[in-house]
Amino acid sequence: MTKLRILGVDPGDTTGYAFIEVEHRGPGFHTYKMLAMGDASFPGGILPLVQIIMKEAHVVAVEDYIIRQPHIGQSPIAIKVIGAIQVVMSALPEKELLMQQPSEKRRAPNTFIKSLHLPPIRSLHIEDAVRHVIIYVQKHMK
């Protein structure tokens, strides 16, 4: 049995994060345990993310946020959050950073998230962060 601690991050003005321990128990069978979750604001609010990355996470799965012009509602804060995570990760070569396309979130529908029996998820940003963890598991922990 393999256990990985995965930090999912949904960057933006409000950055959602979910830190989940995933245990691989056999082909296609995994258990999920929520270790921490929250919404953070940049810059000071992402300090808990940096601490989790440095001390506890094996993998960080982040939405690869793309700014397109013109598109009202997009925030350059997401780019700053991603940049901060990339800087921290560059100093920690033993940890894995996975950038995920926004369209991949469809692979983790609400019904699947509910089936994991995690504690109540308080925001859409945290929910999307959970999706990034699930996508990592689907791709890399078969």
Each residue's pLDDT tens digit, 26-36: 888 899 999 99
Name beta bridge partners: 38. 17
Q: What ranges do the domains of the chain cover? A: 2-140
* CATH class of the domain defined by 2-140: alpha beta
Walk across the sheet containing 14-26 and list its strands: 29-41, 14-26, 2-10, 59-63, 96-100
Supply the pTM of this predicted model. Answer: 0.89
Res. 49 pLDDT band, cuts 50 70 90: confident
Cα–Cα distance, 16 to 126 (Å, whole number): 4
Dump pLDDT digits (tens) for 70-129. 555 567 788 888 888 999 999 999 999 999 888 887 888 888 899 999 999 989 999 999
Token representation of residue 67: 């700014």
